[in-house]
Structure 1
């Protein structure tokens, strides 16, 4: 039997299928026994509508009902259908699902479908490949007992759009998934307690939007879930990799955290028993993740309850979160580090519970943060703007339910207040005088600050805690060591004292340019400092310059490899010709190793290589050339600092003594001096 160029509709005249070509071979029909047997069904370029009504019924189920009745006659025997094979190409499906809101509408194409016997008690091969109209491809391959299973299928998917799947995800608050794609590889098992997937899933270019505040909440480049196991019993994974996430944490105008509105509404332990749900809402979500690894992340923090708004960014965020599970008996552990506003190191270490009651213990460390960043808080509680200064903070917090307890250490270096501003919350104290008394001889203020609060208290205000810190700074200070440049640039001073160049080059590498930018920032913030630049050249530079001279004599273009023709006759003859021109004869032959019989060409090439070393020695630069290289390096360092705003009058180049021995290996040095 075959069917071509046909259109089908259901009882309500809704389009159901368009058939370009469909054929059934080896067809046997027994009406009395209600039995149908088909050897093979094949088709191409057909279209089918699959619709799921709000009550869960699929439109194709309606085709089995008797006319005028909602149910089939229970006294009638069931139809028995067997199918030897199904082979389809270019099949198009329009899928709708009204059991979720918003309803799912998706068109897809099945490029190839090959399925074995339907109705057989044995597993048969299943193969399927397809693509979505909105982008993305998928495939299934394996074995199954059809039509009801069980089945073992290998699944692959690439570039599948995520937004259409949002209605099927757990409720995590007022958030919308505006973009993102998914890829997956693994095994899908059907049967037994329910469907189960084991494998790997990757999400790419995900963009979550805070619908309540109409602003970005979370972006991430990729999220990869390794050894994922998802079933009715819950979701588990060995490791989740999060690359380049960008999270925005905001204290709103009414002093509430935007993040407090997000998260799973219900969680339950991960067990071997199926999830049961007696209530009207969705079943609790069960999960367990061994490790979440974050790389190249950014955390934007804003406090919009202040005028002007406070904003700071922790960038280059990386680290691990271990032990996330809804049934965990031990708290999850977190260890992250990054940089505040690109230069000041920041670390977070601690633990927290996933369930209720909430418990957490964590330590935060910020080093070399510019105090100007905190001008909104200082203006509110001190009544002054901040002109300059740096801040080191070590915070040790414990949260038990709504109670928070903290021990903090705050170090301020050379804090200088700017102009006075009006603020009703400002301290009624002679602040400028108090700061002058609190500073030690180096301008350092070191305080320990205890903290207690109740997060459930509507009057809890983190900004007020900053005000307490400022009040403590006014009344207490302890001397503490401080390394100026390290605090400004977020590293160790010794890491900024040397500048490395490529052998024979006076061009600054990109990494050194970045380091000099940090040095320039520190010098600008400390106008009383001058910098002595001690450029050097060493034996490695001497050989590199000789190699450059040899390359030029051989006709190499600048930037080519040292021996662009090595191993071929042209390179050999050019080098031998240069050697004869310089020394009046060809390079002497090189004795061949024992038990070898090199060809004449190989012997000539060996002599050329040996002659090259004599040429390099003859072309070695003199002391003046090396001194000129050192001078050029000093000027390159000075120019980089000047380009970043350091006045030339604060920079001096100090060359080594003319009779100083040439070191095997050396780097240029930077030495600080007072003005």
Structure 2
């Protein structure tokens, strides 16, 4: 490939501030070299992320330092900044790609309501942006990782399961969200009647009549939410994303990986009830 550099260095009282504008056209790689002291950075993925549709990389690598520092070296500063750029490209690829397309949103995940595997309007909007990115980067492949956070999903899944029981009583063509409270409570009581778990009884052994809020709580408490149920929720979330992408991105570019069953490793401010994305 061809490398063009435009550098601007400013020195003020021993303080160096520099901007290195790098323009690389049609960069390709030779054979991998192994040996002591050779750093093996994930440069191929980073280069794929940084290239535009014409195969060009256009980046600014700013550096600064003090000439009074005995360890000061312009070369090492530029190299360190370049390594950091590659690191950001690999650890936050969707934020980098979104910024390159004029946005600033981190598209590395889509969120779900606790206990739910339904893609809401915001999640679908984010997926549409992911599709645009992948269409402009045809060499990239997408990894999908369904996740759950038991702290939120356990309770959320119980509520969803109760609504599913009510839906069975009301019928599949009924929109529960549009039911009047009295009508919803009617189907809730039917679901409670048909549910198979020990219910509070009166002095003569009959099932006690309960107000709707107590019925709902009893149903939630007795829903079979365990590790398997949470795993299946994570898998359904991943499948919901895969299904939404079908027909928009070639299936051979989409990979569903093993689910993650806790919130470990999430450092951003997004919901922990989500599907994460990766690129390779």
**2:117 corresponds to:** 506
Describe the superposition over 1:156-204 as per-residue Cα deviations: whole angstroms up to 9, x where unpaired: xxxxxxxxxxxxxxxxxxxxxxxxxxxxxxxxxxxxxxxxxxxxxxxxx
How far has the Cα of 1:635 moved from its partner?
2.4
Q: Does 1:667 align with 2:274?
A: yes
SS of 2:176's equivalent in the other structure is coil
Q: Which has the higher contact order (CA 8 A, sep 6+)?
A: 2
- Counterpart-to-counterpart distance in 1, 2:198 and 2:178: 22
Distance 1:584 1:630, change over 3 A: closer
**2:175 corresponds to:** 559
Q: Does 1:543 align with 2:151?
A: no
Name the structure where strand makes up a greater proportion of residues. Answer: 1
- Counterpart-to-counterpart distance in 1, 2:274 and 2:102: 22
Distance 1:671 1:523, change over 3 A: same
Instruction: State whether residues 550 and 616 of structure 1, in contact with CA within 8 Å, keep that contact through their aligned partners in structure 2.
Output: no
Q: Does 1:649 align with 2:261?
A: no
Describe the superposition over 1:555-594 as per-residue Cα deviations: whole angstroms up to 9, x where unpaired: 3645303985449984686466346x64265489xxxxxx
- Counterpart-to-counterpart distance in 2, 1:412 and 1:514: 33
**Structure 2: tracts of 5 or more residues without a match:** 1-18, 27-50, 62-80, 90-95, 265-270
Equivalent residue for 1:496, pick from 80, 96, 107: 107
Computed over aligned residues only, the root mean square deviation of the Cα atoms, in angstroms, reads 4.6
Instruction: State whether residues 533 and 653 of structure 1, in contact with CA within 8 Å, keep that contact through their aligned partners in structure 2.
Output: yes
- After TM superposition, the score normalised by the length of structure 2 is 0.51
Instruction: State whether residues 642 and 648 of structure 1, in contact with CA within 8 Å, keep that contact through their aligned partners in structure 2.
Output: yes
Describe the superposition over 1:604-637 as per-residue Cα deviations: whole angstroms up to 9, x where unpaired: 553x532331222222344444333322321232
Residues 150-169 of structure 1 mapped to structure 2, 5 A cutoff: none
**1:632 corresponds to:** 236
Describe the superposition over 1:237-276 as per-residue Cα deviations: whole angstroms up to 9, x where unpaired: xxxxxxxxxxxxxxxxxxxxxxxxxxxxxxxxxxxxxxxx
Name the structure where helix makes up a greater proportion of residues. Answer: 2
- Counterpart-to-counterpart distance in 2, 1:507 and 1:567: 24
Residues 254-333 of structure 1 mapped to structure 2, 5 A cutoff: none
**2:9 corresponds to:** none
Instruction: State whether residues 107 and 130 of structure 2, in contact with CA within 8 Å, keep that contact through their aligned partners in structure 1.
Output: yes
Q: Does 1:618 align with 2:215?
A: no
Please identify the structure whose Cα radius of gyration is greater.
Answer: 1
Equivalent residue for 2:198, pick from 568, 576, 583: 583
Describe the superposition over 1:375-433 as per-residue Cα deviations: whole angstroms up to 9, x where unpaired: xxxxxxxxxxxxxxxxxxxxxxxxxxxxxxxxxx99787656xxxxxxxxxxxxxxxxx
**Structure 1: tracts of 5 or more residues without a match:** 1-408, 417-438, 448-478, 589-602
Instruction: State whether residues 572 and 604 of structure 1, in contact with CA within 8 Å, keep that contact through their aligned partners in structure 2.
Output: no
Distance 1:569 1:559, change over 3 A: closer
SS of 2:279's equivalent in the other structure is strand
- Counterpart-to-counterpart distance in 1, 2:232 and 2:116: 11
Distance 1:515 1:535, change over 3 A: same
Q: Does 1:486 align with 2:89?
A: no
Distance 1:411 1:642, change over 3 A: farther
